[in-house]
A and B are shown apart, each in its own frame.
Chain A
């Protein structure tokens, strides 16, 4: 009995210590940035994290937009409301699916890569080497990845939303023959710039912070072995996905909830 209690206590303390380390890493990396040479590093990370994720983002956005239009049409056409397909698709994408799916893809595509990269640097003693040379790895390695993620994610989300809505229009208007006037003007009547586009973008920034934080920290804190890197990469994807979904619920509750 006492043994289990002790185990629970140990686990809690271990968890608290991890959180403490993660918090310190995040804080030092986020606010230690602005130095001359760092701009090029940040540029390289936006390229790695953002530009190279474009292909998967665009492809997923296209199929999700097309599927939403198809499903929306088959359901709404039964009650003669196929004019609302555009509005429904746009709201679902801007408010929820855009930021969340981009976040999940981002965790899988960019988060795992960040963890593996930093983990390998640690395993091959590059991080300790830097410290030895007086270069702060938090600033040189961690900070550009955090900032790069935070800049890339909203841009990716905006592109995701645009492509998905365009795909929905392609399927709905060009193929299924929804009246284009009703499709677009219904959308414009119901979508608000701040309430839908703006708040969706804020969500994506919040997801970016949490994903890049988890990814960077898992790499920084992993066991410097082949197995350790593998486990850390898995943890990054699992933790980020769960965190994105949970955070999405909380943000939706705070932003759109009218339940007091």
Chain B
């Protein structure tokens, strides 16, 4: 083997590694090259967010328009404060827009579904969605059902 051939093949080998890394980053983990600077932050307060996770999606009419950036608890009110990163192109959410914690499929993960309102005013960066509905907890529903069955007897 000549030194030149070895150098060329090692170069091609390393290039293949870099291409593989790019493939894994772009195609497999979905890192977009356009950058994520075009987002703004919205907050929403829920009475129950069981099952919701950071990086879960925020969608409107089934289309993903953002991600959950953080979930904190406000222990004074016993509520959860969810920080959402919404894509910049969705810039006309009204102040009476609704946010609801929903479940994907039967066993799927939880996500937040936003619904558009009818108000004139528009939510900007750092505003809070007021009109919210928290997660339905199956155990609570069953518990309520059982107690009502007991009462009606």
Chain A interface (Cβ < 8 Å from any Cβ of B): 40, 43-44, 46-47, 50-51, 54, 90, 94, 152, 154-156, 158-159, 161-162, 165, 184-185, 187-189, 191-193, 196-197
Contact = CB atoms under 8 A, between A and B. Distances in A.
16 contacts: A51-B12, A94-B24, A152-B13, A155-B13, A158-B17, A158-B20, A158-B24, A159-B16, A161-B24, A162-B19, A162-B24, A165-B28, A184-B27, A188-B27, A191-B28, A192-B29
B146 interface: no
B30 A51 contact: no
Nearest 7 A/B pairs, CB to CB: A188-B30, A155-B17, A158-B20, A162-B20, A191-B29, A193-B29, A47-B6
B13 A193 contact: no
Contacts of B25: 193, 197
Contact of A54 (B13, B19, B21): B13
B118 interface: no
A189 B13 contact: no
Given A51-B9, A159-B17, 6 more contacts: A50-B13, A154-B17, A155-B16, A156-B17, A193-B24, A197-B29
Nearest to A79: B107
B28 A90 contact: yes
Nearest to A80: B105
Contacts of B19: 162
The dominant DSSP class at the B interface is helix
Contact of A189 (B3, B24, B27, B30): B30
B23 A162 contact: yes
Interface of B: 1, 3, 6-7, 9-10, 12-14, 16-17, 19-21, 23-25, 27-31, 57
A189 B3 CA distance: 45
A50 B10 contact: yes
A160 B28 CA distance: 14
A156 B57 CA distance: 34
B146 to A, nearest CB: 28
A159 B30 contact: no
Contacts of A191: 28-30
Contacts of B28: 90, 94, 165, 187-188, 191, 197
B29 A44 contact: no
Nearest to B19: A162
Nearest to B64: A189
